[in-house]
Structure 1
């Protein structure tokens, strides 16, 4: 059933609803609400653990007197862009734009494309810019209008000309661009995911540590391929500060065959099959050591949060019964480790490839310090739609700057009437019309 076949009361209610939804004030309110909650999603960290929010948004004292971790989680501010109320705002705003397009913009475009002739002198008096001449003809006016790029329509002694119809199409294109951006945002929220992984050098991993994901994101999480961290390393400045850290990655299939190879760094991610891998963090996962002429063995290193700064440590047994040993501490991957005895006394420093003599006559050699890369993994299938929408939006904005100018003329006996109007650039249009009048009157 279409609106034309609806009963009169229903049709009236339908039109009233469309008019209310298409109201500009409602669209502005919705846009401000979307902007406000988008800002909150930028300020409040998204997709963190419960302990993180309990630590940063305690109940006493509450942030701003009311914002606690309970309020934050209840409202869904830890994943704003996937909450039902935020998605509902996007849908409602999109509905308002759609209603405005069909009830205002399309009828305006249709009216602008309709040929309208003025055949009475009184009709010219209603125009903002009009003139009555005792000389002039449509035959002389027509080539002048074409010279100014007007599209001319003539009917006997009446003439209508227009240009800049693209300016009427521009707002429709703007609305279409915004709707595509909204659709991309909704699609990305429903199908995208966000994950984090800490992976030691030399290991292969599959995306498993999902921090946040949309309800339809399962199909985006890679199942038939993984990523191998061939090597992780850090470049340091001469004064010992971190300059940049890198991960040499290979995308591999289930049989281990390489599908793509790339070295990533901060702001240089790896993209494959719609999934993006960002270099965001690093750590020390282990150390390879040798005692005298023993085989080289690998020990894990764990972060030591009790110490000021970033430190990793491990314990190296020096007797088979594990009754004796030393501790190794490292703060970076430059290759220097500090050695401590069981009493916590510093015994000395040792670099990778070198050894240190222990009191029991054993030589402890550090063969290799193994780093681990911190990767942030994202998939957002809505991004292409968002980019396309923004591109269309920019095109529509440029199109909207075109002036839609209209000129009418009528020749009646020895009198010649000419008038016109435009929707923007009024001064430029007036000068143009005056130049046309001057040439016609000659």
Structure 2
């Protein structure tokens, strides 16, 4: 038993909890710096050539599970360890402290009161009358008073003692929710063009819901910079007669049956062109990071044998679409829906550039626990600010005196300033 007690004392030590909190904070900060949840090839390609911090290459990053920190075994172990430390601390310290605060302490002798932080002795012609007046005054100010023969005990703000216990409870719930979400949740990022659908499957491969992008719009300022983008979604679950239509935008996600759909990004999906008298050609666009950020394009041959290609690039669905020759020289600019231009002897027309909506779908079963944990933690933090004040009084009929003393677990100086005011009222009425 002594070994278990020493182990419990070690695990519930405040210094250990602070170290665990620091480690969790550092790990969380690293998770915001490094990309998370990407394909392993991305880490090998990017960090083997340029190691992070100069020595953490792609192989070591995968070994340390830095590609998925929040669901890694060591991060969940830190959360579990901190949760256990908080539970043990609550069991060994906070719960006994709360029980002690709820128990009434009965001081019977004046000499017991003289040892407390605040103590006063008032002369009184009738100590019992002064004692009753003090009790009535305290009750009028919201104190809970317990009176006995020739003495009283009063307290106020005892709910503040519940605060630390609630804070620990909230933190444990928060960590349980985070761990549950990391283990049982899932995340999916997709670019969808208008009219395209995405089937969400359960673990058995059965379709749970079909998500269709009905329309997508990008709002721009007068300078052409992106201000907002919106998606009109159609969601239909198995058994639904009609699909549900909802709109999402940046900072306005959709929560539906335990899943959250975020408007995360945008892209350009396809370009529709007509070369000479050819039918309309809808061709996929790709990014060209080497040419700049948010630049899409494709290489289009202008001859049946695939020769004399031109490069079409654009940064917006509204154009312009720039056309470059084989030597890299700019041939012309085209507007979607505008007139054709001569390119290598053929009229080239851009009919449409179709944008794609970047959707982020997250299913996190631990979110309710996380929200509940935050709420309980905030409530406990607020209650922890409430000072618990205690006061005792004993009448001394033999010497014609009223002995009063008080304690306060926080802001003792504030209580010391209030203390004479309480006593002056009694002394002024019954002195």
TM range, smaller chain: 0.7 to 0.9
Within the alignment, does 1:37 sit opposite 2:37 as a pair? no
SS of alignment partner, residue 243 of structure 2: strand
Q: Partner of 1:435 in structure 2?
A: 421
Q: Shift of the alpha carbon at 1:54?
A: 3.1
* 1:389-414 C-alpha deviation (Å, 9 max, x unpaired): 11211111111111111111112333
Match in the other structure for 2:366: 382
**Match of residue 93 from structure 1:** 82
Q: 1:139 aligns with which of 126, 129, 132?
A: 132
- What is aligned with 2:36? 46
Report the CA distance shift for 1:333/1:148 in structure 2 as closer, same or farther (over 3 A): same
Secondary structure at the aligned position of 2:365 is classed as: coil
Partner in structure 2 of residue 224 of structure 1: 208
Contiguous gaps of at least 5 residues in structure 1: 1-9, 209-216
Distance 1:330 1:182 in 2: 47
User: In structure 2, what is the equivalent of residue 366 of structure 1?
Assistant: 350
Match of 1:197 among 187, 190, 195: 190
Whole-Å separation in 1 of the counterparts to 2:104 and 2:121: 22
Q: 1:367-421 deviations in whole A, cap 9, x for unaligned?
A: 3222222222222222222122112111111111111111111123334321111
Change (3 A) 1:290 1:103: same
Greater mean alpha carbon deviation, residues 252-261 or residues 239-248: 252-261
Name the counterpart of 1:154: 147
Cα distance between partner residues in 2 of 1:105 and 1:240: 58
Q: What's 1:313 paired with?
A: 298
2-side partners of 1:289 and 1:84: how far apart? 51
- 1:329 corresponding residue in structure 2: 312
Deviation at residue 164 of structure 1 after TM alignment: 0.9
5 Å-filtered alignment, 1:297-308, equals: 297-305=281-289, 307-308=291-292
Q: How much is the aligned-residue C-alpha RMSD, in angstroms?
A: 3.0
Matched, 1:288 2:280: no
Distance across 2 between alignment mates of 1:79 and 1:359? 49
- Deviation at residue 204 of structure 1 after TM alignment: 1.1
Contact 1:328 1:337 in 2 (8 A): no
1:286-320 Cα offsets, whole Å, 9 max, x none, are 2334456665343333334554452311436665x
| Cα 1:99/1:364, change in 2 over 3 Å | same
TM-score by length of 2: 0.86
Corresponding residue of 1:213: none
- Cα gap change, 1:434 to 1:312, in 2 (>3 Å): same
Residue 435 of structure 1 and its aligned partner are, at CA, apart by 2.1
- Match of residue 13 from structure 2: 23
Q: Flag the 1:285–1:327 CA change in 2: closer, same or farther, 3 A.
A: farther
SS at match of 1:58: helix
Shift of 1:65: 3.8
Gaps of 5+ in 2: none
Distance in 1 (alpha carbons) for counterparts of 2:29 and 2:325 = 52
* Post-superposition offset of 1:75: 1.1
Residue 189 of structure 1, CA deviation: 0.9
Task: Determine the structure 1 residue equivalent to 2:99.
Answer: 110
What CA distance in whole angstroms lies between the structure 1 residues aligned with 2:66 and 2:98?
A: 42
How many pairs are equivalent?
A: 420
Structure 2 CA distance for aligned equivalents of residues 318 and 381 of structure 1: 55
Q: CA deviation at 1:426?
A: 1.4
- Structure-2 residue corresponding to 1:130: 119
